[in-house]
Structure 1
Amino acid sequence: MSEDRSLADSRWQRAFDILAVIGPPLTVATALLVYFGWARTDAQAKAMGFDVSLLGYSVQDLVLRSIPSLFVPLVWLLIASVLWLATDTFLGGQRTAGHRTAQIRWFAMLVMAAGAATAVATWLVMILQPERTLLYVPYVMAAGVLLAAWGLSLWRRSSARRGPNFLAGPRGLERTLVFTLVTLLLFWGTADYAQALGRRLAVSYEERSGLLPTAVVYSRDRLGISAPNVLEDSTGTAGKELYKYSGLRLLVVSGGRIFLLHDGWTLRNGKVVVLPDNPSVRIEYGNPESK
């Protein structure tokens, strides 16, 4: 009976260990996806002249809008993680077998020094020459911190000093500090990259607004849309007015609102028309080629 209980406790312990390893990175990845989606949308909305809160995107919407932009970086990150895991496993096997311990220690010191130098150099560049800072600098700094932490860990494991209390005290705090620092750097880099991408998307709408679906708005009440190139026609009878607005393009439908651009929309002089998504207006959509 005690053996079964011990086996069950061991299984639960392994499950908790797996959650402890997977949980924090998965939480950070999800938070980064949400933050990236919000920062990109916020920069795009500001460049186009309205506030991001009008869109009313949910957390799921932000994550789904982040994945296409982050697909390639995430693939490269996973490839780098697999290569790191394979290298660490190989070196661990060599150390366990007692082979090339000195070489492994030298390699660990080299990795630790390279990672620390990379992190410090990028930090100095950002302080001394902030105008020359590139979007990927926070990611380079985060990679340097991770390399330094891995080199230190590898050096400890390959060290001949294997006492049970050797640097055991601060390791939990050390991991927490490294994890926190890398997380902050990732959010920093994500904010810069997302804002740049959001502004680029706003510019792309200026270049391809003519490729958006056409929208013809019908309303019983006069809407008074004053955007350029928007034509207002009265198509109803004298007793039952019906107003028609043409020259509009569909941008997005979200948060109970319909966002429209006018023909010839530009960042400098363009206006975003926002209408309620309810039966008070009727909208006919068409292909960009149709008039």
Structure 2
Amino acid sequence: MELLGTIGSLVSLLAAVLFYFGWASTDAETRALGLRDSIFRLSTSEYLLRSVEALFLPAFLAVGALLAAIGLQRWVTSSPGRAETAVRRMRWGWLPPVALAPFYVLHPALFELVLPLVAIPGLLAAAYALTRPAQPAASDTAQRRLRLNIWALALVLCLLSLFWAVSSYAGIVGRGRAEEAARAVNTPAFPSVVVFSEKDLMIRGGGACYQRVKAENSAYAFRYSGLRLFYVSGDRVYLVDRKWRPSQGTLWVVRESDSVRVEYVSGPLGREPEC
């Protein structure tokens, strides 16, 4: 039962990290584009899905670091003298992040990620070294209480450092996505869109254009082109014009219904006659 409880706690922590990363990266991306993530009304599952791809590299690096730590631990414990020397040094594991803190002002974006990543292994190493059974104490009860207090403090600080690192990395990923989006408006990454509507949707400006539908017996009276697909959430379609830029441009929100039809045009030929 204890194993199942531990697995459940780890799964819950992983889900919380994934959701937080999805939200934080989306928030950084939309802010870089002059928007807010609340505009898109994303669901929990959408936040989780947006976090998966960007976390592959950190996950591989974390597994690699864990394997390296296991190998290092076996090498150290193979010699009693070597182990004692390592433990004495590990007690100062909290010192590297403290030493790096004054350099934060030199490059905040870099040290916001470096500091928590250095702090997590340093705090765990210090907690391990300070709570070894060989440590002198007044009594067994007092020693156990001291160990629990040290580990509790270390784990809380590591958890805060983890979310700090996730937030910093999410900001980097989100701003990178925003830059890519700004460059990709007129590439296949942003499909061309044509909207038909019974009523005038007042989509004007930039590279967007509209015209009245002259075909007889048509269910729609207006046609809008020169648009690019920005995002889809439920029945809401988020569109920008072909000349859109984060510094100047409009985001249109169209809800698909019986009175509004949205067509997605693929390939360069579909973009040429759009206006």
Equivalent residues of 1:145, 1:178 under 8 A apart: yes
Q: Would the alpha carbon gap of residues 160 and 49 (structure 1) be closer, same or farther in structure 2, given more than 3 Å must change?
A: closer
Pick from 95, 104, 107 the counterpart of residue 86 of structure 2. 107
**What's the counterpart of residue 198 of structure 1?**
174
Gaps of 5+ in 2: none
CA distance in 2 between counterparts of 1:45 and 1:193 reads 15
- How many positions carry a matched residue from both structures? 264
Q: Report the CA distance between 1:219 and its aligned residue.
A: 0.2
Q: Would the alpha carbon gap of residues 227 and 148 (structure 1) be closer, same or farther in structure 2, given more than 3 Å must change?
A: farther
**What's the counterpart of residue 24 of structure 2?**
39
**What's the counterpart of residue 194 of structure 2?**
216
Gaps of 5+ in 1: 1-14, 95-99
**What's the counterpart of residue 121 of structure 2?**
143
102-111 vs 19-28, which deviates more?
A: 19-28
Question: Matched residue of 2:20: which SS?
Answer: helix
Equivalent residues of 1:119, 1:142 under 8 A apart: no
Percent identical: 28
Pick from 51, 66, 77 the counterpart of residue 81 of structure 1. 66
2:216 is aligned with 1:231: no
Q: Report the CA distance between 1:207 and its aligned residue.
A: 0.7
CA distance in 1 between counterparts of 2:135 and 2:193 reads 73
| Pairing 1:45-194 to 2, within 5 Å after superposition | 45-88=30-73, 94=78, 100-113=79-92, 115-126=93-104, 129=105, 132=108, 134=110, 135-137=112-114, 138-153=116-131, 156-157=132-133, 159=134, 164-165=140-141, 167-194=143-170
36-45 vs 132-141, which deviates more?
A: 132-141
CA distance in 1 between counterparts of 2:101 and 2:109 reads 10
Aligned residue identity for 1:203: E
Q: TM-score w.r.t. structure 1 length?
A: 0.80
**CA offsets, 1:41-76, max 9 Å, x none?**
112222323321222222221111111111011111
Pick from 252, 259, 267 the counterpart of residue 280 of structure 1. 259
Q: Would the alpha carbon gap of residues 120 and 105 (structure 1) be closer, same or farther in structure 2, given more than 3 Å must change?
A: same
Q: TM-score w.r.t. structure 2 length?
A: 0.85
CA distance in 1 between counterparts of 2:207 and 2:244 reads 9
CA RMSD in angstroms comes to: 2.6
